[in-house]
């Protein structure tokens, strides 16, 4: 398997080099296998379970506040027939039984817990807001990315000095998308690519990415037999709903 030195990337972007062995454990929407996704509770639990970073999603309220939620609509997660984009931040915060934190709140918690932020931009316009918030606090352990190459390219062309990620669906060309977005990271969202998606992470794919100066992050994975293989790959990080699958020494934390 291709050998790879991550130190130039870590040094360039000011990421910590003392978080243990790579790949980084990235809690997908926090520890979403144990707590409601994209909530402060899920993020804090992910850190307790050993995740070095939290993957999160961004939406925009009617009055322009960046909040953390995968969906614009609240039905799937909270059973509420409302849209974030149609409410003010104050109206959203006042909804009973709904916990949608602002990006600023999640970023503040990450600073407290010494966690990195792996930010997936959903709503257009949220990238610039997140970038400004990170710069305000000199919060360097962070990455911004999206399936939407236009959002990533906008940040690149604006001079964003944080690592940028492009998310890649099964069947799409990661290298072409990386070029189009101007990305530093190829995030392969291939969890549904059969029983052995790890076989798609070939020597040729890795070598081409590394020649282009790009790192690899892998899909969210919870299957132990696949994790055994992918943690041996020269990749920067692996997303997971269950951080204990990558950090088994913290298996009992969820029930503690």
Condensed to tens digits (0 to 9), the pLDDT of residues 193-251 reads 999 999 999 999 999 999 999 999 999 999 999 999 999 999 999 999 999 999 987 66
Query: What is the overall mean pLDDT for the chain?
Result: 96
Confidence band of 26 (pLDDT split at 50, 70, 90): very high
pLDDT of residue 21: 78
Residues 86-125 have pLDDT tens digits of 999 999 999 999 999 999 999 999 999 999 999 999 999 9
CB 109 within 8 A of CB 137: no
Residue range 7-243, CATH number? 3.20.20.190
Residues 54-77 have pLDDT tens digits of 999 999 999 999 999 999 999 999
Instruction: Return phi, psi of residue 41, to 5°.
Output: -60, -45
Three-state DSSP at 97 gives coil
pLDDT of residue 19: 72
pLDDT of residue 43: 98
Confidence band of 138 (pLDDT split at 50, 70, 90): very high
């Amino acid at each position: 398997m291709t050998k790879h030195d991550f130190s130039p990337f870590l040094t360039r972007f000011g990421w910590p080099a003392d978080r243990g062995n790579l790949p980084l454990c990235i809690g997908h929407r926090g520890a979403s296998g144990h707590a409601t996704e994209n909530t402060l509770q899920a993020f804090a639990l992910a850190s307790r379970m050993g995740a070095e970073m939290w993957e999160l999603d961004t939406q925009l309220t009617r009055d322009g506040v960046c909040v953390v939620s995968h969906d614009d609509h609240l039905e799937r997660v909270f059973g509420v027939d409302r849209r974030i984009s149609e409410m003010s931040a104050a109206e959203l915060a006042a909804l009973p039984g709904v916990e949608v934190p602002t990006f600023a709140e999640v970023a503040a918690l990450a600073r407290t817990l010494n966690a990195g932020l792996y930010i997936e931009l959903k709503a257009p316009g949220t990238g610039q807001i997140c970038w400004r918030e990170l710069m305000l606090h000199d919060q360097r352990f962070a990455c911004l990315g999206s399936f939407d190459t236009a959002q990533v390219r906008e940040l690149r062309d604006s001079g964003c000095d944080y690592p940028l990620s492009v998310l890649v669906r099964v069947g799409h060309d990661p290298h072409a998308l990386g070029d189009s977005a101007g990305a530093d990271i190829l995030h392969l969202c291939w969890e549904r690519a059969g029983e052995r998606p790890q076989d798609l992470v070939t020597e040729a794919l890795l070598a081409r990415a590394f020649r282009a100066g790009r790192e690899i992050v892998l899909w969210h994975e919870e299957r132990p037999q696949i994790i055994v293989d992918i943690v041996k790959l020269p990749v920067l990080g692996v997303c997971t709903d269950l951080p204990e699958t990558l950090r088994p020494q913290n298996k009992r934390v969820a029930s503690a």
